[in-house]
Chains A and B, each alone.
Chain A
Amino acid sequence: GAGVSQTPSNKVTEKGKYVELRCDPISGHTALYWYRQSLGQGPEFLIYFQGTGAADDSGLPNDRFFAVRPEGSVSTLKIQRTERGDSAVYLCASSLGAGNEQFFGPGTRLTVL
């Protein structure tokens, strides 16, 4: 079956613009995670969804970042008024539920000029 997919694979935008990053989890996976990986670093947790609700958004760096998962499947990470420091690879992972193996997508590389 298909794995976790993320679109776009690369996104270049200008400072101050709004971007949306999409994650399609593995079918049937109720848990969905977003991580951000800056150059030369390990991924950092952003937000966790169980079903449609954000069960833990403690990793979101500020209120410019927001994520939704309206039907409990696809999730969108939204970044307003992008800054150069937002440049990173954004990774999405899904699992059958908390405590189960997380399967990662290939990530979206965001570059803010």
Chain B
Amino acid sequence: AQTVTQSQPEMSVQEAETVTLSCTYDTSESDYYLFWYKQPPSRQMILVIRQEAYKQQNATENRFSVNFQKAAKSFSLKISDSQLGDAAMYFCAYSHGANSKLTFGKGITLSVRP
């Protein structure tokens, strides 16, 4: 079975600074997708960034980028120029196969200090 591990329960970053959130996963598949989702207090999950395992190039979306290390099964999220609105729970997730159901990690609470 696939598992996603986020070992840091909380992190804090100063506004305008950079922070990296860690995630590791376990799978025997070679073709899969990895995601980072943001969940603010409103509870609505918002997709931040997505990475296809067959792509060697790390995905980037504006201030958000990933460091995807397939051999190490590591998938970290870097947030540059942190903003107060970035404060939320962040979940790493994995999907594979025909139904694309998501397997989530436990999440990390990110706080941003003004």
Contact = CB atoms under 8 A, between A and B. Distances in A.
Most buried by A among B6, B42, B98, B101: B101
8 contacts: A33-B102, A44-B104, A91-B43, A91-B45, A98-B98, A98-B99, A104-B44, A109-B43
A12 B9 CA distance: 29
Contacts of A31: 100
Interface residues of A, number: 28
A93 B99 contact: no
A42 B101 contact: no
Interface in A28-60: 31, 33, 35, 40-45, 48, 50, 55-56, 59
Contacts, number: 56
A105 interface: yes
Interface residues of B, number: 21
Contact of A43 (B42, B100, B104): B104
Nearest to A43: B104
Interface of B: 4, 6, 42-47, 50, 91, 93, 98-107
